[in-house]
Amino acid sequence: MTNAEIKQADKDLIWHPFAPLISPFEYIPIKSAKKARLFTHGGKTIIDTVSSWWVNIHGHSNEHIANAIHKQALELEHVIFAGFTHEPAVKLAKNLMTILPDNFSKVFFSDNGSTSIEVGLKMAFQYWCNLGQENRTKVIALDGAYHGDTFGAMSVSARGGFTKPFFPFLFDIESLDFPTEENFEQVLAHFDELTSDEKCAAFIFEPLVQGAGGMRMYSPEMLQKLVALAQSKGIICIADEVMTGWGRTGTNFATDQIEANPDIMCISKGITGGSLPLGITACNKKIVDAFQSEDLEKALLHGHSYTGNPMICAAANASFELFQAQECKDNIQRIHNKHQAFIEQLKTFDNIENIRLTGTIVAFDLKGFGETGYDSEARKKIYPYFLERGVLIRPLGNVIYLLPPYVITDEELELVYETLLGFLREG
């Protein structure tokens, strides 16, 4: 198909995510991609600074991952995971156990980040049910959270534009203010108060960085105190590591930066290197023990048609090998160092504020755009400006952030930085 034919067919037939059907932006046909670059049907090159929705860590069209998928597809493409198992799934579980907390003992396969959250919530709720404590129904989350688009995930996310049409159908939760240096003592006191009635089932959080909420960052010290308080009262702690996992915050998982281990971890996005969709919900022995029974009523009755798909597991195992290599770790540190140096240049501008950095994620807020939510007017200016200059930056309202694949070169980063500085100079 020609470039024009693809555009027209897309306009006629496809419903895109997170956008009105009459979109202010053109959908650009991408023909191919390699490493940190996308190539359009029109012959343009675009640097992918958002890792294609935060999933790509080893670069596009990675040959090691592609070969693993190809080899597995010729041997076993899929088999029902109820009543069967296979080596790629077992190998992936064993790989994950080498980087998960020491007290973790099981992984549950699903299809994406949202479903990994659904599984985590169901594990937590049924944990209490299996123990005969059905009164444990309260869930506590941080204000501004985004945990996904399925109904359980929406319920524990912030109420707002993403979820407004569905408010009547979501279950109620308790919300904690997002922790800052200024309010943390009040937040901790409020958390203590909310958990004083012994009715809280779970505390769910995005560790260190709220992604869709605007790349808001808080310290490991704050997270440590929140998790420690929850666990002192027996509350199940669910870490949503969907975005923060796989080195994004500088460690394998963001919760590696605190002493207290969560009880449940939800993992997705970078797990396959950005090649195929996969969700993992991992849990510790405490959770597993509540389900250790031959009684079907105590089983987690949840599953998906493509649960444990062998090709996806093969991709994840190949990605894991790349992630464990020293080259990957060096790249994560290199990007962090480059971002850190770039921040010194950003500090010279008075039209931005709240410059922040965690691992390979750098972000700042633009001033002067009023409303700062996802539908901020800022995006209508920012998004096309950078695309015209060959850089994919997908702002979160008035928040500009960079979260590139680990294979992005220094030269590509410098080009992105210069384009950003040019935007800021133009005001």
Cα angle vertex 191, ends 187, 196, to 5°? 150
Q: 132: how many CB neighbours lie within 10 A of its CB? A: 7
Based on the domain organization, do 56 and 13 belong to the same domain? yes
Q: What is the pLDDT of residue 370?
A: 65
Based on the domain organization, do 113 and 211 belong to the same domain? yes
Residues 369-395 have pLDDT tens digits of: 765 666 677 888 899 999 999 999 999
Based on the domain organization, do 125 and 191 belong to the same domain? yes
Q: What is the pLDDT of residue 374?
A: 67
Q: What are phi and psi of 35, to 5 degrees?
A: 55, -115
- Determine the average pLDDT of the residues in 145-171: 96
Based on the domain organization, do 69 and 56 belong to the same domain? no
Based on the domain organization, do 48 and 157 belong to the same domain? no
Q: What is the pLDDT of residue 91?
A: 98
Residues 11-28 have pLDDT tens digits of: 999 999 988 999 888 899
Tell me the residue length of the chain. 427
Rounded Cα–Cα distance for residues 57 and 328 (Å): 9
Which of 301, 324, 347 corresponds to the end of one domain? 324
Q: What is the pLDDT of residue 372?
A: 60
Based on the domain organization, do 289 and 363 belong to the same domain? no
Instruction: Give 6's contacts (C-beta < 8 A, 6+ positions apart).
Output: 29, 41
Residues 178-228 have pLDDT tens digits of: 999 999 999 999 999 999 999 999 999 999 999 999 999 999 999 999 999
Based on the domain organization, do 166 and 246 belong to the same domain? yes
Residue 404 near residue 414, CB atoms below 8 Å: no
Provide the domain count of the chain. 2
Please choose, from the candidates 11, 49, 12, 15, the residue with its C-alpha nearest in 3D space to the C-alpha of residue 28: 11
Which of 324, 353, 369 corresponds to the end of one domain? 324
Q: What are phi and psi of 410, to 5 degrees?
A: -60, -40
Based on the domain organization, do 295 and 353 belong to the same domain? no
If you write DSSP's letter for every residue of 156-211 in order, what string do you get?
Answer: TSPPSTTTGGGGGGSPP-EEEPPP-TTTHHHHHHHHHHHTTTS-EEEEEE-SSEET
Q: What are phi and psi of 68, to 5 degrees?
A: -65, -40
Based on the domain organization, do 377 and 307 belong to the same domain? no
User: Structure pTM?
Assistant: 0.97
Residues 125-147 have pLDDT tens digits of: 999 999 999 999 999 999 999 99
Rounded Cα–Cα distance for residues 311 and 87 (Å): 11
Residues 307-325 have pLDDT tens digits of: 999 999 999 999 999 999 9
Residues 44-103 have pLDDT tens digits of: 999 999 999 999 999 999 999 999 999 999 999 999 999 999 999 999 999 999 999 999
Q: What is the pLDDT of residue 371?
A: 59
Based on the domain organization, do 90 and 20 belong to the same domain? no
Based on the domain organization, do 53 and 148 belong to the same domain? no
Rounded Cα–Cα distance for residues 18 and 80 (Å): 32
Please report, for the domain that includes residue 336, its CATH number.
Answer: 3.90.1150.10
Query: Where does 35-146 show beta strands of DSSP type E?
Result: 37-40, 45-48, 104-110, 138-142
Please report, for the domain that includes residue 319, its CATH number.
Answer: 3.40.640.10
Residues 333-349 have pLDDT tens digits of: 999 999 999 999 999 99
Based on the domain organization, do 371 and 300 belong to the same domain? no
Q: Find the Cα–Cα–Cα–Cα dihedral 342, 348, 350, 351, rounded to 10°.
A: -30
Identify the domain containing residue 375 by its residue range. 3-61+328-426
